[in-house]
Amino acid sequence: MEVLVNGDYQLVELGLAKEIQDSKVTFVYDNKEVDILVDEETLDYIKDINNSSELALFPIDPVAKTVLLNNITSL
């Protein structure tokens, strides 16, 4: 999926949070897994969303190993 991030188009995947640890989240996307290191604020945000819905999908960049939660202007 292509989204607009900080004014540039970027390809992202939608990942399901499989395992949430202290500073790392394991996401599942397209029958693959990726571990992404996250800061405390992002971790809290992911936990809150995941507690509301365990089937929530998060925009991730598996190559850069980042979660894209800010500055997305279109999905």
What are the structural domain ranges in the chain?
2-74
d(CA 51, CA 1): 25
> ∠ CA 69-23-2 to the nearest 5 degrees?
25
State the Cα–Cα distance between residues 75 and 68, nearest whole angstrom.
11
pLDDT tens string, the chain, 75 residues long: the values are 777 777 778 788 999 999 999 999 999 999 999 999 999 999 999 999 999 999 999 999 999 999 987 655 555
